[in-house]
Structure 1
Amino acid sequence: DVDGVLSAPEYRDQGEAVIGFTEEGWQHWCEEEEEAGYRYCKPLPPVRTFAEERKKDGSRLFVLTATAGELETKAKEVFVREHYPALFEAVIPVSHENQKVAVIKELAKENGIPLTQCMLVEDTLSTLLQAHDAGICAVHVSNIFAGNVSG
C-alpha cells in the first residue's frame, strides 16, 4: 500500500496543511496536482528497510494500492519510483481495499506460489484480517508519525 505504509500522508494547498479530503476534494486534488499529488508525502525508512531485506532474500515485491482513478495511480507510481527506486516490480491499482487479497490470490496462482509464501504489508485492519484468513502473512504498519519519516 502507498498511503500510510510506503508514505506518511502530507498534503499542502497554498502553503497550508490539508488534513483529510472529502471524496470530491480528493478528486479535485488529483486533477489539480496530477503526477505531483504525493510530492509532500514522506517515505517511511523502516518500511523501506523491511522491503529491501525481503528483496535481498529473493522476494518479488509489488505495490498493491487502492486508487480513485488513473491520476491517483500515476501520482503513486511517481512517488514509488522517486522514493523506492528499483525496489518494486509494479504498482497494481485496485478500486477498493477489499480487492487486495483477491489480487494476491490471483498472482500467487498464476506464479505457482503458495499463499503461505505471500505477504501483505498494510495499515488497514480489515484487509489484514482478510489476508490472514486466506493464509497470507499479514504485517501491520501503524504509528507512522513517531519520527519514522524521511525527507
Structure 2
Amino acid sequence: MQAMFIDVDGTLSSPCYKVNGKFQIGMSDVQWADYCSKYGEDTYEWCRPVMQVKEYAMKAKEKGTKLYVLTTSGTKIETAAKRRFLDRYYAGMFDDIYAVEHDDDKVRFILKKAAELGIEPSDCELVEDTYRILLQTVTEGIKSTHITTILTGGCER
C-alpha cells in the first residue's frame, strides 16, 4: 500500500459533543452548522482519538505508506476544528489533510490523488466508517477498510 486515506468523524475521532449540558454523538445538519458556529475551533473538544486506527495507520507508515486525512467538511470553521483535533491527537502523523464538500467526492479525490502520485488505485486504501462510500471504493479498485475491521482485528480467519 502506497497511500492511505483516513476519515475523521467516526474513524479518527470518536464523536462526542456537549449540547445543552448533555453529551451526544450526533445531530442534524442544521444543528451541526449551529454547533460549529458556536464552538468554532473547539467543536471537537469532547471527541477522542480512536487509538486502534492510529496504531493501524502507524504500522502502515512504518512500511512507507503515505498517510492522508480525507474528511468531509462543509465549512471553514469545521475544517479548522478538525485540524485542531488532528494537531492535538495525531501531530505530525499525516503527510497532508484534505477536505471535500460531500462524502461522494472522496472516491473521485482518491483517484485524482493516485494519478498525481503516479500510483494505481489498487495502491490506495480508504479507512472509513461509512459503508456506502467504501462500496464505491471497491468498484474503483481501491482497498476499503471499515473501522470495525480494525477494531475487531481483521476479517481473515
The reply to whether TM is greater than 0.5 is yes
Residue number in structure 2 paired with 1:82: 88
Residue number in structure 1 paired with 2:34: 28
Same amino acid, percent of matched pairs: 37
Q: CA deviation at 1:24?
A: 1.4
Equivalent residues in 2 for 1:67-78, closer than 5 Å: 67-78=73-84
Distance 1:15 1:144, change over 3 A: farther
Residue number in structure 2 paired with 1:114: 120
Native 8 Å contact 1:105 1:115 kept in 2: yes
Is structure 2 residue 13 aligned with structure 1 residue 11? Answer: no
Instruction: Name the SS for the 1:142 alignment partner.
Output: helix
Residue number in structure 2 paired with 1:44: 50
Native 8 Å contact 2:44 2:81 kept in 1: yes
Q: CA deviation at 1:20?
A: 2.4
Match of 2:136 among 102, 105, 130: 130
Across the two proteins, how many residue pairs are aligned to each other? 146
Q: TM-score, with normalisation over the residues of structure 1?
A: 0.91
Residue number in structure 1 paired with 2:3: none
Q: CA deviation at 1:13?
A: 2.8
Native 8 Å contact 1:67 1:73 kept in 2: yes
Equivalent position amino acid for 2:130 in 1: T
Q: Which runs of 5+ in 1 are unaligned?
A: 147-151
Distance 2:88 2:28 in 1: 27
Higher strand share: 2
Native 8 Å contact 2:52 2:151 kept in 1: no
Match of 2:71 among 44, 50, 65: 65
Native 8 Å contact 1:8 1:145 kept in 2: no
Distance 1:89 1:145, change over 3 A: closer
Q: Give the aligned CA root-mean-square deviation in angstroms.
A: 1.8
Instruction: Name the SS for the 1:68 alignment partner.
Output: coil
Distance 1:29 1:145 in 2: 29
Distance 1:138 1:69 in 2: 26
Q: Which runs of 5+ in 2 are unaligned?
A: 1-6, 153-157
Equivalent position amino acid for 2:70 in 1: L
